[in-house]
Amino acid sequence: MKPTFKGEEHSRGLKPAADREIPLARPNVTPAEIDAVVEVLRTPNLSLGPKVGEFEQAFARAVGVREAVAVSSGTAALHVLIRALGIGPGDEVVTTPFSFVASANCVLYERATPVFADIDAETWNIDPAKIEAAVTPRTKAILPVDVFGQPADFDAIRDIARRHKLVIIEDSCEALGAAYQGVRAGALGDAGVFGFYPNKQITTGEGGMITTNDADLAAMCRSLRNQGRDAGAGWLAHPRLGFNYRLPDINCALGLAQLRRLDELLSARARVAEWYIEELPVGGGCGTGISPPTAGLLQLQRIAPNVRMSWFVFVVRLADPFTEQDRDRVLSGLRSAGIGCSNYFAPIHLQPYIRELGGYRPGDFPVCEAVASRTIALPFHHELTRDDVRRVVAELCSLLA
Ligand SMILES: *Cc1c(COP(=O)(O)O)cnc(C)c1O
C-alpha cells in the first residue's frame, strides 16, 4: 500500500526503503571483471595486445561463427560492415524504422540510402512482406534488427535475399545469446553485429563486435578498424582509407570476464522477465487477484515459437485506446515514483534529420508508429528482485486505472 505521507518523507529526504530508486538498466560487474582489467593495466599492452584476440575467439565460439572482430562500439561495427561490403552512394539498404538510430545511420555514413520496411504488429520485428515490397534494382543489403533480443524472421528474410542476391547484415546488438531454429543470433545473416554499452547483456563500457563465417570479410573489417592497415604490414602503410575503431585491451579483458559469466547473466535476466510476465495484468488481473480495470490494457511482444529470446529490455505496449500522451503521462508517473523507464524506440524515420533526408511524414510506417507511441521499457537488469518487479507493476497498474 502506498503510504499517504510519501510526499512528506521525500521532502525531508527520509525515503522509505520501499521507495528507493529502481534504475532502468544497470551493468553487473563483479570482482572478476575488476581483477581482469587491473591485470591489463599492469602490462604495457593497453591496445592491440593479446586480450583482443582472446576476446574475439571466445566471442566467436559463444556465437558459433568462425570469425569475430572487436571494434569500439556497435555503431562502429555496423559502419565497418557497410564499408567492407562496398555499399555506397546510389545503393539502398532495406531496414526497420523500429530500432536504435545506429542501424540506419551506418548506411548514411557511406552516403547510401536506408529504405524502411514496416514492422510486424506483434513481434515488432521487420515484416518480410514489407521488405519484399521495398526491394528495388538499387537494393544491396537487408539489415534486420533482432528487436529487444528476439531474432527477426530469418527464413523469410533469407529467401528474399537469395532471390534478389542481397547480403544480410544482422543487427544482433540486442540479442546476444538468442537463437532462431537453434542457430544463434549473430550467425543468422552474412555478418552479425553486437554492442557492449552498459545496458547490453554484456558490457565493455563501450565496445562492439562483428561476427561472420567469411574470413575475407573479417580481414577487411580488421583493416578498416585499424586505419586501413594490412595484417603484419608496416605501422605507416595504409593501402586503404580506414578508421580508428579499435577496442582497447582493457575493454577486451572486461568483455572476456563478462562473457565467462554469460549463462549466469542471461538466466538472471530471463528470471526477471518471467516475473514480469507472471505479475503483469496481460489478459487478466493485476497479479494480486484483485482483478482491477487494467485487464487487457497491456500487450507484450509476441515471441515466435521458433526463437529463443535473450531479454535485452522488458517492454510493455499500452493497448490502442491509449494515446502517446497517455503513454508519456505513465512514463512521468513512473519516474516520479522513482522507477526508471523509457519509451522504446522512437521511430527512426521521424527523427528530424532523417525526416528531412527522406521526406518522411507521420503515417508513413503506421505499424511502427502505433507501437512506438505506446511502448514503455520497464526497469530490467540482473539485480532486480521479485519485490521490485511487484512494485513496478503495482505502480503501472495504478497509473492505468
Ligand atoms: C545498442 C545498439 C547498437 C549499438 O550501439 P552502440 O552504442 O554504438 O554500441 C546498434 N543497434 C541496436 C539495435 C542497438 O540496440
Same domain, 200 and 222: yes
Domain final residue pick, 201, 232, 260: 260
Same domain, 224 and 316: no
Q: Is the dihedral angle over the CA atoms 112, 118, 124, 128 positive or is it negative?
A: negative
Domain membership of residue 19 (yes or no) is no
Amino acid 352: pLDDT = 98
Same domain, 233 and 305: no
Domain membership of residue 308 (yes or no) is yes
Q: Whose CA is nearest to atom 13 of ligand 1?
A: 100
CB-based contacts of 17: which residues, under 8 Å, 6+ apart?
none
CB 334 within 8 A of CB 341: yes
Query: CATH code at 388?
Result: 3.90.1150.10
Q: Is 165 tagged catalytic?
A: no
Q: CA triplet 316, 317, 323: central angle to 5 degrees?
A: 140
Q: Alpha-carbon distance 14 to 232, whole Å?
A: 61
Amino acid 282: pLDDT = 76
Cis check for the bond before 345: say yes or no (omega within 30 of 0): yes
Same domain, 235 and 302: no
Q: Which residue has the cell 591485470?
A: 39
Domain membership of residue 369 (yes or no) is yes
Same domain, 230 and 292: no
Same domain, 269 and 187: no
Same domain, 273 and 220: no
SS3 sequence of the chain: CCCCCHHHHHHCCCCCHHHCCECCCCCCCCHHHHHHHHHHHCCCCCCCCHHHHHHHHHHHHHHCCCEEEEECCHHHHHHHHHHHCCCCCCCEEEECCCCCCHHHHHHHHCCCEEEECCECCCCCCECHHHHHHHCCCCEEEEECECHHHCCCCHHHHHHHHHHHCCEEEEECCCCCCCEECCEECCCCCCEEEEECCCCCCCCCCCCEEEEECCHHHHHHHHHHHECCCCCCCCCCCCCCCCCECCCCHHHHHHHHHHHHCHHHHHHHHHHHHHHHHHHCCCCCCCCCCCCCCCCCCEEECCCCCCEECCCCCEEEEECCCCCHHHHHHHHHHHHHCCECCECCCCCHHHCHHHHHHHCCCCCCCHHHHHHHCCEEEECCCCCCCHHHHHHHHHHHHHHHC
Domain membership of residue 206 (yes or no) is yes
Amino acid 18: pLDDT = 57
The single residue of 51, 130, 140, 200 carrying the catalytic annotation is 200
Same domain, 370 and 276: yes
Q: Report how far ligand 1's centroid is from the alpha carbon of 207 (Å).
A: 10
Q: Alpha-carbon distance 116 to 395, whole Å?
A: 36
Amino acid 2: pLDDT = 38
Spatial CA neighbour of 110 closest among 66, 160, 65, 169: 169
Same domain, 325 and 353: yes
Q: Whose CA is nearest to atom 3 of ligand 1?
A: 74
Q: Alpha-carbon distance 390 to 386, whole Å?
A: 6
Domain membership of residue 14 (yes or no) is no
Spatial CA neighbour of 109 closest among 125, 89, 127: 89
Q: What pairs with residue 169 in β-bridges?
A: 191
Amino acid 24: pLDDT = 97
The residue to mutate among 176, 197, 199, 243, having the most atoms of ligand 1 within 8 angstroms of its beta carbon, is: 197
- CB 208 near ligand 1, within 6 Å: yes
Same domain, 59 and 37: yes
Work out how many domains the chain is built from and give that number: 2
- CB 92 near ligand 1, within 6 Å: no
Decide the pairing of beta strands 92-95 and 139-143: parallel
Domain membership of residue 18 (yes or no) is no
CB-based contacts of 186: which residues, under 8 Å, 6+ apart?
63, 65, 170, 172, 175, 176, 192, 193, 194, 211
Measured from the Cα of 206, ligand 1's closest atom is 9
Q: Report how far ligand 1's centroid is from the alpha carbon of 321 (Å).
A: 31
Q: What pairs with residue 67 in β-bridges?
A: 212
Domain final residue pick, 260, 288, 312: 260
pTM: 0.93
Amino acid 177: pLDDT = 98
Amino acid 95: pLDDT = 98
**Tens place of pLDDT per residue across the chain (401 aa):** 334 333 334 444 444 555 789 999 999 999 999 999 999 999 999 999 999 999 999 999 999 999 999 999 999 999 999 999 999 999 999 999 999 999 999 999 999 999 999 999 999 999 999 999 999 999 999 999 999 999 999 999 999 999 999 999 999 999 999 999 999 999 999 999 999 999 999 999 999 999 999 999 999 999 999 999 999 999 999 999 999 999 999 999 999 999 999 999 999 999 999 999 999 987 544 434 334 455 578 999 999 999 999 999 999 999 999 999 999 999 999 999 999 999 999 999 999 999 999 999 999 999 999 999 999 999 999 999 999 999 999 999 999 98
Domain membership of residue 273 (yes or no) is yes
Domain that holds residue 211: 31-260
Q: Alpha-carbon distance 290 to 53, whole Å?
A: 55
CB 50 within 8 A of CB 253: no
Domain final residue pick, 203, 234, 260: 260
Same domain, 239 and 289: no
Amino acid 340: pLDDT = 98
- CB 247 near ligand 1, within 6 Å: no
Query: CATH code at 143?
Result: 3.40.640.10
Q: What pairs with residue 93 in β-bridges?
A: 114, 141
Q: Report how far ligand 1's centroid is from the alpha carbon of 48 (Å).
A: 23
- CB 102 near ligand 1, within 6 Å: yes
Domain membership of residue 3 (yes or no) is no
Same domain, 251 and 140: yes
Q: What pairs with residue 375 in β-bridges?
A: 317
- CB 145 near ligand 1, within 6 Å: yes
